[in-house]
Structure 1
Amino acid sequence: MKKLVIFLHGVGSSGADLEGLGLYFQQVMPEVIFASPNGTSPFDGGDEGYQWFSVTGVTEQSRPERVVEARAAFDATIHAIFRQHNVTPGKDQVILLGFSQGSIMALDALVTARFPLTGVAAFSGRLSSPRPYQPAADSAALLIHGMDDRVIAWTESEAAAAALTEEGVEVETLFEPGVVHTISAEGVARAMEFIIRRFELS
């Protein structure tokens, strides 16, 4: 059985930005495959980088629609990684680890159960998917968020945890005082522990 972790970067970033985290994890989990793709379209904010969906002019009302519109291209990217590494979801194990917009897409995959997931680790994200939610029966999520985040309020992860728990998802949270919109060392350690546990590596 193969074990795959797919990193999903934030808006305006790129897969390369999370590759270092994959290399760090690989030192502890050499048997795990790590992939860190670029977002599905170039960032439309001017800089180099990528996005999973455009945030230009986005509102609370329009964000769910943009997530839905992003699904086809997102799924194509994920399935390309499955083919590249000869991974069969359901037979093999897959965890999505997202940051910011990457977390939005990871949680969307979780609540729609479009492909079997062993878990989702979501840093600094929010649950933006439109209802109804239909997560798989054995779903698990780790939500990590800095409480000084000025980009996406940590209460978004708190609300996501409540909504996911209501749907029967096994949810763990780490809310970090004094931490901004970033991936902290403590968050990385907690995510690694979550991955090891979900993959039953020890």
Structure 2
Amino acid sequence: MTPIDGPRLAPLEDRPARQLVILLHGFGADGEDLIGLADHWRRLLPDALFVAPDGPQPCVLGGFGRQWFPLTDFSDGERLAGARSAAPVLDAFIDRELEKAGLPDSALALVGFSQGCMMALHVGLRRKLAPAAILGYSGALAGGDLLPDEMTCKPPVLLVHGDADGVVPVAALRRAVASLSAVQVPVQWHVEEGLPHGIGPEGLALGGEFLCRHLLDARD
């Protein structure tokens, strides 16, 4: 299993990291695509280390992008099989980053966009110890019906989606919320009006507030 890595942004003023925020990009992108989120949130979380690993595979569509797993028919079965196949490399990356920073899982937040959201939910709900928070944008929950048997922790989750998303329809958010609520995962959600497949200003603000609430609570 080849280790993954990607761009990172250290805490402000070179302070020791007290939180770790891992940013997981979407299909056909890479870590550079999401590390910019750190600029929006690092004033709120000055002690956080932000890391945006590149997915483990070259994108099947070519170009310079990466993927967590292939997507060809976008079926539920394909998403579940793909998330399972990529989970070990992401789990190993999380373990390594926590160890390097000397931080517990309670100081970890997973943030994902699109396919990265699928990975954040899949891995975050199956960690031995719960992360402080999972924040997902424009994504989906793979294998929601399997959560009663496979889920090992119940971290707080915030899902944000645009109602004009033509890539991952907003119905995916509603299905995810229903599945998470059914197994008592504390889940919040927000639909941003007129937003296509992307991260909008409302989602950025809500995400920053959500991360602060759960990461700073964990710190204190």
Given that 2:144 and 2:180 are in contact with CA atoms closer than 8 Å, whether structure 1 keeps it comes out as no
Task: Provide closer, same or farther for how the CA distance between residues 115 and 102 of structure 1 changes in structure 2, counting only shifts above 3 A.
Answer: farther
- Once residues 43 and 137 of structure 1 are traced to their aligned partners in structure 2, the CA distance between those partners, rounded to angstroms, is 31
Report if the CA contact (8 A) 1:67-1:129 is conserved: no
Stretch of structure 1 that moved more, 188-197 or 32-41: 32-41
| Equivalence for 1:196 | 212
Q: Give structure 2 stretches of 5+ with no counterpart.
A: 1-16
1:65 aligns with 2:65: no
Preserved contact between residue 110 and residue 135 of structure 1 (Cα < 8 Å): no
For 1:165, which of 178, 181, 193 is the aligned residue? 181
Q: Secondary structure at the match of 1:22?
A: helix
1:34 maps to a residue whose letter is: F
| Residue 113 (structure 1) aligns with | 127
Deviates most, 75-84 or 154-163: 75-84
Match of 1:141 among 157, 172, 177: 157
CA distance in structure 2 between the aligned counterparts of 1:88 and 1:15, rounded to whole angstroms: 23
How far apart, CA to CA, are the structure 1 residues paired with 2:95 and 2:172?
28
Where do 1:3-152 residues align within 5 Å? Answer: 3-89=19-105, 92-129=106-143, 131-133=145-147, 134-136=150-152, 138-152=154-168
Q: How many pairs align?
A: 200
The 1:151–1:13 alpha-carbon spacing in structure 2 relative to 1, beyond 3 Å, is same
CA distance in 2, matches of 1:114, 1:11: 27
What SS is found at the alignment partner of 1:28?
coil
Q: Which is further off, 50-59 or 129-138?
A: 129-138
RMSD: 2.0
**Structure 1: gaps of 5 or more residues:** none
Tell me which residue corresponds to 2:7: none
1:99-147 alpha-carbon deviations (Å, 9 max, x no partner): 0000000110233234421110000000013643144554210000000
Within 1, Cα distance between the matches of 2:170 and 2:157? Answer: 16
CA distance in 2, matches of 1:16, 1:96: 16
For the residue of structure 1 that corresponds to 2:195, the secondary structure is coil
Amino acid across the alignment from 1:170: P
Matched residue SS, 2:190: strand
Q: What amino acid is the match of 1:102?
A: G
For residues 62 and 34 of structure 1, the distance between their equivalents in structure 2, rounded to whole angstroms, comes to: 29
Inter-partner Cα distance in structure 2 for 1:38 and 1:115: 24
Cα distance in 2 for partners of 1:126, 1:144 equals 10
**Counterpart secondary structure, 2:50:** strand
Segments ≥4 residues shifted beyond 4 Å:
none
- Asked if the contact 1:45–1:56 (Cα under 8 Å) also holds between the matched residues in 2, the reply is no
When normalised by structure 1's length, the TM-score is 0.90
CA shift, 1:63, in A, is: 2.2
- Greater shift, 46-55 or 135-144, is seen at 135-144
* TM-score between the two structures when normalised by the length of structure 2: 0.83
